[in-house]
Amino acid sequence: MKNDKFIVSFPETKYEDILVEKHQNLAECCSIDNSPIMFGCRTGICGTCLVFVTGDILPVSEMEREVLETIVPDRIPSHIPDIAQPRLACQLELTNNIAIYTDILTN
């Protein structure tokens, strides 16, 4: 059976999982009330929405890669798994279940 909804989880935070439609953009379903993600421009320019993601996600675009190169810190906080990929949340289109980590613990 084809799965058209996916779960976005926020480990180590107070936030509950969110159910997201396939190919929905993460910025469309996350707010300050239901996630630890902070958004700014929502167009992939400002870098405010930097997150670390585990799970299968679509590849980084060239524009996103350029922004990430300038904003990803040299030292990743220890609560973020080594396998987590830095991404801009506003540029993430969901095609699988994922877990999102931010650089701030929000318990």
DSSP reduced 3-state for 60: coil
Q: Which is nearer to ligand FES, 42 or 76 (CB)?
A: 42
49 binds ligand FES (CB under 6 A): yes
Q: Which is nearer to ligand FES, 56 or 66 (CB)?
A: 66
Instruction: Specify the residue for token string 């993601």.
Output: 53
Q: 61 vs 8, 86, 87, 93, CA distance in Å? A: 21, 13, 10, 12
Select from 2-10, 12-20, 40-48, 72-80 the region that touches ligand FES (CB under 6 A). 40-48
Query: How many Cβ atoms sit within 10 Å of the Cβ of residue 56?
Result: 11
Q: What is the CA radius of gyration of the chain?
A: 13
Select from 4-12, 47-55, 73-81, 99-107 the region that touches ligand FES (CB under 6 A). 47-55
Residues making contact with ligand FES (CB under 6 A): 39-42, 44-49, 88, 90
